[in-house]
Amino acid sequence: MILEYYRPETLEKALLLLSNQTPKTVPLGGGTVLNAPSPEDYAVVDLQALGWDVIEQRGRELRIGATASLQMILDHGAIQPALRKAIQQEAAYNLRQSGTAAGGLVSGGGRSPYLSMMLAMDADLVWQPNDAVVPLGEFLPLRGGLWPGAVISEIRINAQIQAAFHFIARSLADKPVMIGAAARWPSGRTRLVLGGYGKAPITILDGEANQGVLDGAETAYLTAGDQWASAEYRSEMARVLAQRCLEEFE
């Protein structure tokens, strides 16, 4: 249950509030996850007054404010069609208005299309204080921990890389049981991400794509079985979706 609510108007005040640990104090973006009923007691710091709901393009880079809504990203003319598709798959229209760029990365699970796509695009998270830049891939394993006195202010992605997104679900708007997301830089660097399972999507490849990557994808999901799909199925689909993603870059 939310015990305290704050809406600071400066970053300094926000950081000060977020340094409180009693009760546990967390940043509030759109609130689609935090505002749901919870047995846990905590305080929230609403970031809406910090002016972070903006998206700015600087050269190849798209700087997405932490509280920019998923719909704002979707509506931005510079984003790749694959990212657009992933966001559409992430949530229906209403929740895309409230769900935020950073919130989706902090709370998204393994079956999150948006998180999978952003991981494939090697999104950088800009943390305050000090504008510390942390790649999303490095942040994901640490998500369970507390980050007192710190908050994500911005997400940066390269808007000019190629991107691909494929999923398998029971219907066109269902939560996927299998996701393949990939990005390719002009240098040939390729990142391939598998999602649809577990607590977070996983990166299969970051480098030059080669023949072994499909085997790697299949192997990565060899034990990825749960109530939603068997490991046998996911493992084989990992190969199929990985191949489809990579074929888009050919």
Partner 1 sequence: MKLNLTINGSQIEVESTPNETLLKVLRRMGYFGVKHGCETGECGACTVLLNGKVVNSCVTLAAQADGKAIETIEALGEHPEQGWKRTEGLHPLQESFAESGAVQCGFCTPGMILAAKELLARTLDPTESEVRDALSGVLCRCTGYVKPVQAVLHAAAVLRGEAKPGEMTGESELLQALFRPDSLPPAPPPAIGPGGTRTAVRILPKVMVAPDSETRTQIGKPEIKVDAIKLVQGKPAFTDDFERRGMLVAKVLRSPFAHARIKKIDASKARALDGVAAVLTHEDIPRVAYSSAGQSDPIPGPLDMFSLDDKVRYVGDRVAFVAAETEEIAIQALSLIDVTYEALPAILDMGEALDNEIILHDQPEYVDFDQSDASRNLAAHIHIDIGNVEHGFAEADHIFEHEYEVPKVQQAHIEPHIVVSYWDEDDRLVIRTSTQVPFHARRILAPVLGLPIKRIRVIKPRIGGGFGGKQEVQIEDVAAHLTIATGRPVRYETTREEEFIASRSRHPMRIKLKTGVKNDGTITANAMYALSDTGAYGCHALTVTGNTGHKSMALYVGDGKYREKPNIQFIADIVYTNTASSGAFRGYGVPQGFWPVERQMERIARALKLDPIDFRLKNALRAGELQPFSTAWSEGREPSPEIIETNGLVECVQQGRAAIGWDSKYSNKDWQQVPGKPHLRKGVGVALVMQGTAIPYLDMGGASIKLNDDGSYNLLVGATDLGTGSDTVLAQMAAEVLGVPVEDIVVYSSDTDFTPFDKGAYASSTTYISGGAVVRAAQAVAEQMMMRAAKMLNSQGGYALVDPTEIVLENRLATAPDGRSVTMAEIAHNSLHHEDQVQIMAVGSYVSPVAPPPFAAQFAEVTVDIETGMVTVDKLVMAVDSGIIVNPVTASGQIEGGMTQALGYAVSEEMVYDEKGIMRERDFSDYHIFAAHEMPELTTIFVETFEPSHPFGVKAVAEIPMDGVAPAVGNAIQHACGADLSKNPATPERIWQALKQVTPG
Positions touching partner 1 (CB under 8 A) are 1-5, 7, 28, 31-32, 35-37, 43-44, 46, 48, 88, 91-98, 168-175, 177-178, 227-230, 233, 236-237, 240-241
Buried b (16+ CB within 10 A) or exposed e, 42-64: ebbbbbbebebbebeeeeeebbb
We find the least distance from the C-beta atom of residue 67 to partner 1, in angstroms, to be: 11
We find the least distance from the C-beta atom of residue 174 to partner 1, in angstroms, to be: 4
We find the least distance from the C-beta atom of residue 208 to partner 1, in angstroms, to be: 25
Q: Which is nearer to partner 1, 21 or 160 (CB)?
A: 21
Characterize the bridge pairing of strands 151-158 and 124-128.
antiparallel
- 3-state DSSP percent of the chain in helix, strand and coil, to 5: 35, 30, 40
Eight-state DSSP code of residue 132: E
For residue 184, the SS3 value is strand
Q: Which is nearer to partner 1, 150 or 169 (CB)?
A: 169
Q: Which is nearer to partner 1, 206 or 243 (CB)?
A: 243
Q: Which is nearer to partner 1, 69 or 158 (CB)?
A: 69
Q: Which is nearer to partner 1, 206 or 236 (CB)?
A: 236
CA neighbor of 110 nearest in space, from 6, 229, 191, 29: 229
> Going by C-beta distance under 8 Å and a sequence separation of 6 or more, which residues neighbour residue 235?
218, 219, 221, 222, 224
